[in-house]
A = this chain, B = another copy of it.
Amino acid sequence: MTLTNNSKRRKELVAIAARLFFEQGYERTTVRILAEAMGIKSGSLFHHFTDKQAILCAVIESGMQSAMQIAHEALEGVQDPQDKLLALTKAHLSTLLTDRNAHVVALYEWRSLTPESLHHLVGLRDEYESLWRSVIQECIQADVLHGEESVVRHFALGALNWTVQWYDPQGQRTPDDLALALVNLLMDRTHFN
């Protein structure tokens, strides 16, 4: 379910907006700056979006939907709890660090959303987090992870989301390396390499 239409042109514009919001922040990116980057005049923007805020919402929504899809694909056919955790972690980092723009915007700029947009997106986020909830729960029951589920989940997602602050895509470490490092750190004994 989307809030408004989803034309091809609109998606192009959303991708450009994502980059600009990521680079300079939502509030500092004016509609004129957006329009210029899109090759149109500022007035034309409001043919595609009702609001400036609606652009932000579309950016965040696109990021969340792709994250959800990749996560589902990653979990397909995996049975072992630890394998699930690793797969989910890899999926999370891979969307986070490749489709970086939209996700960073989501983490930073949700305060500028209207209550309606926020409610819509919180619903999507909860859907995504419930994937994590069940996988971590399985790991705890399988005794490969210890602690309260919600605390462990928040710590894990925090560690992952924080990577956007320091990870260098040009460096020698791949997202998968990082995922492995985190899972090994969280679990009692090293199981993967």
Q: Which A residues are within 8 Å of any B CB, using their own CB?
A: 24-25, 27-28, 108, 111-112, 146-148, 151-152, 154-163, 165-166, 173, 178, 181-182, 184-186, 188-190
Check A28/B161 contact, CB under 8 A, given A151-B178, A181-B147, A185-B155. Answer: no
Q: Say yes or no: A159 contacts B166, CB within 8 Å.
A: no
Q: Say yes or no: A155 contacts B182, CB within 8 Å.
A: yes
A25 proximity list for chain B (CB < 8 A) = 27, 111-112
Give the shortest distance, in Å, between A82 (CB) and chain B (any CB): 15
Give the shortest distance, in Å, between A113 (CB) and chain B (any CB): 12
Check A185/B146 contact, CB under 8 A, given A27-B28, A157-B162. Answer: yes
Give the shortest distance, in Å, between A6 (CB) and chain B (any CB): 29
Q: Say yes or no: B152 contacts A163, CB within 8 Å.
A: no
19 A-B pairs besides A162-B162, A188-B188 with CB distance below 8 A are: A24-B111, A25-B27, A25-B111, A25-B112, A27-B28, A108-B108, A146-B190, A147-B181, A147-B185, A154-B162, A154-B163, A154-B166, A155-B181, A157-B162, A158-B161, A158-B162, A158-B163, A159-B159, A161-B162
Give the shortest distance, in Å, between A184 (CB) and chain B (any CB): 7
In the bound assembly, the distance between CA atoms of A189 and B28 in angstroms comes to: 47
